[in-house]
């Protein structure tokens, strides 16, 4: 039976994993599909990429690595993604996965000139996003949790922008009819976001930001979760 693949590209902080689980747990919960329909593949640990024909859909997780490091396992995924696109296998790339999807299809990824974006941020759906299967009918502006210092500087040719904000012009995009990238984290709830900020206090200080101000602005983010749920229903 074909499976929905959660492509695990890293781990959260160990203390967070003990309390909340890891990336694949949050994604699985957000998708809202049966556990028998999911297969988790941990690429950095050396697990092989699935044969394309065995994939019903693919969700590429976030990571503490950087896309521009061009780590061997990351480059392998990058070369694999076009095969999924050609086979019209639905893809959802989250944060690192969003950036890797863009890079694999000819976009440009690098560090954001403004540094890190972290916490709960306002996201705006752009015109093309209003008719998209994952974004249609959602509020034009919604809150989402973010945690990234790299960005898609240039989208791939023929991709369609879905969402942006004042910090990040490419918060979401689509390639064709079945591949999406979202820079924000639909799988993060407010507890996970707060724990992330606390674990990244040193980085936040180095960036000239104030942890207490970030924590004060963290709030529930039900709208991005709907995007993840919609992807789950689309491919179930």
Instruction: Give the side-chain half-sphere CA count within 13 A for 147.
Output: 30
Exposed / middle / buried, residue 80 (Cβ in 10 Å: 0-12, 13-18, 19+):
middle
List alpha helices for 23-112, DSSP H: 23-31, 72-86, 96-104
Whole-number Cα distances in Å, 100 to 19, 50, 86, 93, 119: 28, 17, 16, 8, 22
Q: What is the dihedral of CA 186, 16, 209, 141, to 10 degrees?
A: 10
Angle at 134 between CA 42 and CA 30, to 5 degrees: 45
DSSP 55: E
Strand partners, 182: 94, 172
* Residues belonging to the active site: 95, 185, 187
Question: Is the Cβ–Cβ distance between 166 and 82 less than 8 Å?
Answer: no
Identify the CA nearest to 87 among candidates 179, 181, 182, 157.
179
d(CA 151, CA 122) in angstroms, rounded, equals 17
């Amino acid at each position: 039976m074909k499976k929905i693949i959660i492509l695990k590209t890293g781990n959260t902080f160990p203390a967070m994993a003990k309390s909340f689980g890891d990336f694949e747990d949050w994604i699985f919960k957000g998708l809202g599909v049966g556990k028998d329909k999911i297969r988790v593949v941990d690429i950095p640990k050396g697990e092989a990429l699935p044969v394309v024909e065995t994939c019903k859909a693919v969700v590429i997780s976030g990571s503490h690595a950087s896309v521009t490091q061009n780590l061997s396992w990351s480059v392998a995924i990058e070369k694999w993604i076009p095969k999924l696109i050609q086979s019209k296998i639905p893809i959802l790339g989250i944060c690192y996965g969003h950036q890797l999807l863009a890079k694999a299809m000819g976009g440009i990824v690098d560090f954001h000139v403004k540094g890190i974006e972290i916490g709960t941020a306002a996201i705006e759906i752009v015109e093309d996003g209003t008719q998209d299967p994952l974004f249609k009918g959602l509020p034009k502006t919604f809150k989402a949790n973010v945690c990234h210092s790299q960005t898609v500087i240039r989208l791939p040719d023929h991709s369609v922008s879905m969402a942006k904000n004042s910090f990040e012009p490419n918060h979401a995009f689509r390639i064709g009819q079945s591949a999406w990238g979202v820079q924000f984290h639909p799988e993060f709830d407010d507890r996970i976001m707060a724990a992330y900020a606390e674990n990244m206090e040193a980085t936040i200080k180095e960036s000239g930001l104030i942890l207490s101000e970030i924590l004060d602005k963290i709030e529930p983010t039900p709208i991005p979760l709907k995007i993840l749920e919609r992807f789950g229903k689309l491919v179930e």
